[in-house]
Amino acid sequence: MKIMVAVKRVVDYAVKIRVKPDKTGVETQNVKMSMNPFCEIALEEALRIRESGLASEVVAVSVGPAQCVDTLRTGLAMGADRGIHVEFKDGLNPLSVAKVLRALVEAEKPGLLILGKQAIDDDCNQTGQMLAGLLKWPQGTFASKVTLDKEKRVATVDREVDGGIETVLLDLPAVITTDLRLNQPRYATLPNIMKAKSKVIKKYTPEDLNVEIKSDLEVLQVTEPPKRKAGVVVSSVNELIDKLKNEARVI
């Protein structure tokens, strides 16, 4: 069985981000970029499934600008067998990425798709779900544990939900999105980084896949959240009610 893992190149989690002076977005020039942490977890899970003998190949996919190749190389260094890069400069959104991935699924025919639950730059938490919808495949999102049964061709997924843990049984092929507690991703070792240079990364454009990237949303402005104002200490209940009524106007 082949597993396909989608990985995204995002601003590194340790970087203090700031909004561009023209308010069109976040400053990404000269800023360190890395693989989205949830995508690392997704890749790690795929590698463990392959190492346990339940899968034969792990393919890493990334959609984005030319530098995504660096992210794919990290994925290859972690252990993915080959990479696919769909090059697109700017203006991606979850639905477009899901459509691209659907086209790749039709070409590659994987038995399992693993994605990170969300990217740390836009926090959308949409791509995995939309992809499952487009493919009409079952989905197990926010996975904190994944167990495959190859014979019965099902996957048991523990999902982290608000009320606790929900366990679902999915027929394969399926889409799984990973949550933080699923695993600890491995380090890419130096020898593996060196070996990864010779692994293949296939390039596509969205046109090759007959996908049109368009967005129905337009970003008007990006601003920092307002600075938290200092609180006020009130001296009596009456003063509190007065403030709530006349200043905050909530009662």
Partner 1 sequence: MGRLLSRIICVSRSRASRSRFVSPNGYSPFRDPGHVSRVSGSGFLRAPWFLGGAKSFSSETDRRESIEYDVVIVGAGPAGLSAAIRLKHLCRERDFDLSVCVVEKGPQVGAHVLSGNVFEPRALNELLPDWRNEEAPVDVPVSSDKFWYLTKDRAFALPCPFDNRGNYVISLSQLTRWMGVKAEELGVEIYPGFAAGEVLYDSNDNVVGIGTNDMGISKDGSKKETFQHGVELKGKLTLLAEGCRGSLSEKIISKYNLRGKVQAQHQTYALGIKEVWEIDENKHEPGAVLHTLGWPLDHKTYGGSFLYHMKDRQVSIGLVIALNYQNPYLNPYEEFQKFKQHPAIKSLLEGGTVIQYGARTLNEGGFQSIPYPVFPGGALVGCSAGFLNVPKIKGTHTAMKSGMLAAEAAFSVLSEGSSIEVYWDFLRQSWIWEELKKARNYRPAFEYGLLPGLAISGLEHYLFKGRLPFTLKHGKPDHEATNEAKLHTPIEYPRADGILSFDVAMSLHRSNTNHEHDQPAHLRLRDPTIPELVNLTVYAGPESRYCPARVYEYVPDAKGELKLQINAQNCLHCKACDIKDPKQNIEWTVPEGGGGPGYSVM
Structure tokens at 118: 């969300």
Taking alpha carbons only, the member of 38, 26, 34, 5 closest to residue 181 is 38
Stretch that binds partner 1, among 8-16, 52-60, 149-157, 228-236 (CB under 8 A): 8-16
- Class of residue 212 by CB neighbours under 10 A (exposed 0-12, middle 13-18, buried 19+): exposed
What number of chain residues touch partner 1 (CB under 8 A)?
19
Amino acid at 176: I
The residue within the footprint of partner 1, chosen from 2, 12, 153, 180 (CB under 8 A), is 12
CA distances from 123 to 57, 101, 119, 127, 179 (A): 29, 19, 5, 11, 13
CA distances from 100 to 10, 89, 105, 183 (A): 18, 14, 9, 27
Q: Is 231 in the site for partner 1 (CB under 8 A)?
A: no
**At closest approach, how far in Å is the CB of 179 from partner 1?**
18
Residue closer to partner 1, measured from CB, 24 or 167: 24
Stretch that binds partner 1, among 27-35, 94-102, 115-123, 157-165 (CB under 8 A): 27-35
Q: Is 198 in the site for partner 1 (CB under 8 A)?
A: no
Q: Is 18 in the site for partner 1 (CB under 8 A)?
A: yes
Residue closer to partner 1, measured from CB, 61 or 188: 188
Calpha distance 64→90 (Å, rounded): 7
Residue closer to partner 1, measured from CB, 28 or 125: 28
Residue closer to partner 1, measured from CB, 13 or 147: 13
Q: Is 181 in the site for partner 1 (CB under 8 A)?
A: no
Residue that the structure tokens 């933080």 belong to: 180
The contact set with partner 1 (CB under 8 A) reads 12, 14-16, 18, 21, 30-32, 34, 184-187, 189-191, 193-194
